[in-house]
Amino acid sequence: MNTGNDADSKTSGPPAPVPAAGNFIEEIILEDLRTGKNDGRVHTRFPPEPNGYLHIGHAKSICLNFGLALKFGGQCNLRFDDTNPTKEDVEYVESIQADIRWLGFDWADRLFYASDYFEQLYQWAEFLIQKGKAYVCDLTADEIRDGRGTLTRPGAASKFRDRPVAENLDLFRRMRAGEFPDGTRVLRARIDMGSPNLNLRDPVLYRILHRDHHRTGAAWCIYPMYDFAHGQSDAIEGITHSICTLEFEDHRPLYDWFVEELELPHRPRQYEFARLNMTYTVMSKRKLLRLVTEGRVRGWDDPRMPTIAGMRRRGFTPAAIRNFCERIGVAKKNSTVDYALLEHCLREDLEQHAPRVMAVLRPLKVVIENYPEGQVEWLAADNNPNDPAAGTRPVPFTRELYIERDDFREDPPKKYFRLYPGNEVRLKHAYYIRCERVVKDPATGVITELRCTYDPASRGGATPDGRTVRGTLHWVSAEHAVPAEVRLYDQLFAVESPDDVPEGQDFTVNLNPHSLEVIPDARVEPGLAAAAAGSRFQFLRQGYFCADPDTSPERPVFNRTVTLKDSWAKIEKKQSE
């Protein structure tokens, strides 16, 4: 460290670059490094329970844990916290790994499972029994809950609290051997029924569950509780900074109690940070699971879900999500982040990298009367004005085109610069056209096509005689365009805080009935038929879109990732006022 002392810096040479602290956890780590704690090691872990898909809140924790390891030259483990076989599944184990990799992080060969440690945890439980620090309790779950007391009422000791060590050992071994049915007995720590911290009032360490586990099969019929598994797993793996969300602050004394009482050689420390909450969405896995099982969405990877899998399908980039996590920072106080910030980070990335193409979502036919029938001109269209290296592609121009139905008005309002009878507009990459006549279905009065003329001297957007044309429209050749399905998404919930519901009602009352609109017959540039699933584009003037896994050359399918309009800038301005 540079102390500012001349003599110091002369003897030690130029100081090694020390990264600056970006948040309070980094400050703690820098201080630990300065004092030589943990032999200068930084070792974190991301500990998901495989009982659901990862969501954007988990992304915050992933970016934090893996990010700290990267920043301080340390390591980050992936550890599945798989202590509850009733809710866990290999489907989740696999999706979680895929999602973390997709986000751009790597745990190398450090993939672990709390279930790897079941035997060790069991031995530690026996050790506590032998120390007189744990006992087998025959009370029912209700009696235990009741006896625990409340914040204002102290707990009452279980009548099994003073069981002799030998009897506890015998019963615990028979619990393991499968002699007792579910729910008949538990192992509890013997700490302090009068503690102001409820977590210290003889918490349950093991419960009986005659249930196969996705990894250990039928080997166990007793399973450790989260609190009894977590800190010890950290200790086994040599974790230095065990970072979790604020709800676990009150569990920290218990975490430390186990480390102390088990006389563990390595002593990890737990630090808590504020979880991510976001407007217009829910982040509880239990609620997300309900949306899936009740068919409110099409699956965990529905593009409206706040899951990583859903966001990937929607067209989010890993860089946008990482950037978002960086911008929201790491704090000690809970808050809610505006969904618009996430979209803002996404646009920032897509604006740089997504190729521009033309797609007409709600087609209206245009016939250019003075353009030769059967003629095709392949015009050069630039792929990305932000990236000169992106080059151009040929797009076909023909006598019959489609434009967006919304880009024409028979009776234009004031300041309407798009197409209307007698007005001239520019077709992007092509020519000026003027609307001469409107053709309607005589029966319904619906406009079926526009008859237009073009100015051959305006090719490629050249202005023939300096006349001004204010509107520029996107278009596709009717002959060449490919029919496509386009899925437009809006917020999954209609209100900012979907978790706030009147008593007796359920969060699902806040679902947005218009969160998905399917357009079955859009028309896209011919090149888009071959778009690989997952490829992203800007549909000019429409937004960013991404080819869905359902896409095929016969039936291209695109998801709208995000619109072009950025509401974040406005929100930011309002906030600073």
Q: Write out the residues near ligand ATP by the rule CB under 6 A.
A: 47-49, 57-58, 60-61, 81, 244-245, 275-276, 283-286
Task: Tell me the CA distances in angstroms from 166 to 177, 197, 223, 233, one per residue in order.
Answer: 16, 29, 21, 27
Beta-bridge mates of residue 401: 366, 477
> Tokens 């003037």 appear where?
541
**To the nearest whole angstrom, how small is the minimum distance from the Cβ of residue 268 to ligand ATP?**
14
The closest alpha carbon to 377, from 261, 456, 451, belongs to: 456
Structure tokens at 373: 């029938």
CB 393 within 8 A of CB 381: yes
Nearest CA among 179, 517, 528 for reference residue 358: 528
Q: How far apart are CA 201 and CA 253, in angstroms?
A: 11
Among residues 283 and 571, whose Cβ is nearest to ligand ATP?
283
Nearest CA-CA partner of 382 in 316, 438, 461: 461
CA–CA distances in Å: residue 121 to residues 178, 204, 231, 264, 288: 17, 14, 11, 12, 31
**Residue number, nearest CB to ligand ATP:** 57
Cα 219 to Cα 461: distance, rounded to the nearest angstrom? 73
Please identify which of the residues 87, 110, 275, 541 carries the catalytic annotation: 275
Looking at beta carbons only, is 229 or 244 nearer to ligand ATP?
244
> For residues 53 and 489, which CB has a smaller minimum distance to ligand ATP in the complex?
53
* Residue among 60, 79, 285, 536 flagged as catalytic: 285
Which residues, in sequence order, are bridge partners of residue 357? 539
CB of 437 to ligand ATP, least distance (A): 58
- Cβ distance 151 to 198 under 8 Å? yes
Nearest one of 240, 189, 187, 209 to 72, comparing CA atoms: 240
* Shortest Å, Cβ 33 to ligand ATP: 23
First and final C-alpha spacing in the chain: 41
The least distance separating ligand ATP from the CB of residue 87, rounded to whole angstroms, comes to 8
* Minimum separation from the CB atom of position 464 to ligand ATP (A): 58
Q: Of 49, 143, 400, 572, which residue is the catalytic one?
A: 49
What's the closest the beta carbon of residue 272 comes to ligand ATP, in angstroms? 9
Q: What is the CA radius of gyration of the chain?
A: 31
Query: Could you give the count of Cα atoms lying within 13 Å of 121 in the half-sphere of its Cβ?
Result: 26
What's at 130, amino acid-wise?
Q
Is the CB of 300 or the CB of 537 nearer to ligand ATP? 300
285 is catalytic: yes
Nearest distance from residue 406's CB to ligand ATP, in Å? 38
Nearer to ligand ATP, 24 or 160 (CB): 24
Closest separation in Å from C-beta 566 to ligand ATP = 24
Residue 449 a catalytic site member:
no
Question: What percentage of the chain's residues is helix, strand, coil (to nearest 5)?
Answer: 35, 25, 45
* Nearer CB in complex with ligand ATP: 48/147: 48
Nearest to 201 by CA among 274, 262, 235, 251: 251
DSSP assignment of 191-208 equals: --TT-SSGGGSS-EEEEE
How many Cβ atoms from other residues are within 10 Å of residue 425's Cβ?
23
Between vectors from CA 373 to CA 371 and to CA 376, what angle results, nearest 5°?
A: 80
- The residues annotated with a catalytic role in the active site are 49, 275, 285
